[in-house]
A and B are shown apart, each in its own frame.
Chain A
Amino acid sequence: GAGVSQSPSNKVTEKGKDVELRCDPISGHTALYWYRQRLGQGLEFLIYFQGNSAPDKSGLPSDRFSAERTGESVSTLTIQRTQQEDSAVYLCASSPHPPPLHFGNGTRLTVT
């Protein structure tokens, strides 16, 4: 069956521009997670959704970051006015219940 799909796989943007990252979870998975991984570092929790609501947004680094989920399916992570420190791989994961998580291949974001 299809796994977690993320798009784009790579995104290069200029500092100050807005970007949208998309995640299509595995069908039927109620929980969806966003993590950030900087080069050579671990996974940094950003936000998770249970259905369409986000019980925990504690990891969003600043108000430039926002995320939404619709139809208990697709989620978008939006970064406004991107900065160079936003450069990282953004990983999405989903699960049918509480963890374990199934990860997508990530979006590699480069801010120039």
Chain B
Amino acid sequence: QKEVEQNSGPLSVPEGAIASLNCTYSDRVSQSFFWYRQYSGKSPELIMSIYSNGDKEDGRFTAQLNKASQYVSLLIRDSQPSDSATYLCAVKAGSNAGNKLVFGAGTILRVKS
């Protein structure tokens, strides 16, 4: 079982719709969770971080965390063509594992205008 799993996609949504990106992780003691966006040929950039169960909103982005289900998601409201990119989920394990950050393989999002 991979440490961090994501559906590779592509996920296609029409402009203005809500895009829902999902991620599961295997280490039950994981504490910190991140979503990165990566445009083709570019390096990843941080979109959201979330540390406790529930929802965290930042503009059009909402991160959701459910530690009991070992599940984290990213919702993008009012999707725009400029949101088309690969979205990477990243998980930091518990404190005994140091500061290693493990990435999923990413989900390709395509927003159609």
Q: State how many angstroms separate the Cβ of B61 from the closest Cβ of chain A.
A: 14
* Known contacts A99-B34, A103-B45, A105-B43: A55-B98 contact under CB 8 Å: yes
Interface range on chain B (Cβ under 8 Å from partner): 20 to 34
Q: Is B28 part of the contact surface with A, judged by Cβ < 8 Å?
A: no
Report yes or no: B106 in contact with A42, Cβ–Cβ below 8 A. yes
Nearest to A103 among chain B residues (CB) is B43
Contact of A35 among B42, B98, B103 (CB under 8 A): B103
* Known contacts A43-B88, A99-B90: A50-B49 contact under CB 8 Å: no
For the complex, what is the distance from the CA of A7 to the CA of B48, rounded to whole Å?
28
- 4 A-B pairs closest in CB distance: A42-B105, A43-B103, A103-B43, A98-B99
List residues of B whose CB falls within 8 A of some A CB.
Answer: 32, 34, 42-46, 49, 88, 90, 92, 98-106
A-B contact pairs, 20 of them (CB 8 A): A33-B101, A42-B104, A42-B106, A45-B101, A45-B103, A48-B99, A50-B99, A55-B98, A56-B99, A56-B100, A91-B43, A95-B99, A99-B34, A99-B99, A100-B49, A101-B90, A101-B101, A103-B43, A103-B45, A106-B43
